Amino acid sequence: MSARSVDVRLVKAGRTKIRYPAEVVSDDGTLLTVRAPWAADGVRDFGFVRFEPGDVFTEHYWRDRWYAVKEVRTGEGALKGWYCDITRPASVRGSEVVVEDLDLDLWVPADGGEVLRLDEDEFAASGLEERDPVAAAAALQALDALEALAREGRLPGAGQETGQR
């Protein structure tokens, strides 16, 4: 497969949160993997990890799963960890990948430290459980499943540098 570019568009609450170009690494019709540099302006310090210019994200989007997994590396190639978004299944239309963020996130550090469930308060405040209880249930189930995969060292790329968790 020759390298091709796509635009990744992350949607939250019906609005585009961010859009950025990425190079397709692979696409088997169910799982699309792309690679892109850190797309936001400047540094984003979460306290447990810093995303900064030069970082490279290898992003895994499934058309049939309610999450996306983003492997984060420094520009020099050192693995920082995995930032996982709970999303509706990805939609790929031509050269655009659209992913709807459902607020819940998971951080898995490369050093085998504590797996962190993030933004559960934002999810509760989003009103999704009232507006779309089926989607809310799928999101919560996806978070649990993703956390189990993370703890087993079964995220894409896991186990290559740090061994099984």
Q: What percent of the chain has pLDDT over 90?
A: 87
Mean pLDDT of 6-18: 95
Confidence of residue 159 (pLDDT cuts 50, 70, 90): low
Q: DSSP letter string over the chain?
A: ----EEEEEEEETTEEEEEEEEEEEEE-SSEEEEEEE--SSS-EE-SS-EE-TT-EEEEEEESSSSEEEEEEE-TT--EEEEEEEEESPPEEETTEEEEEEEEEEEEEETTS---EEE-HHHHHHTTHHHH-HHHHHHHHHHHHHHHHHHHTT-STTTTSSS---
Residue 158 pLDDT = 65
- Report the predicted TM-score, pTM, of the whole model to 2 decimal places: 0.91
Digit-coded pLDDT (tens) for 62-74: 999 999 999 999 9
Q: What does the pLDDT look like over 85-121, one tens digit per residue? A: 999 999 999 999 999 999 999 999 999 899 999 999 9
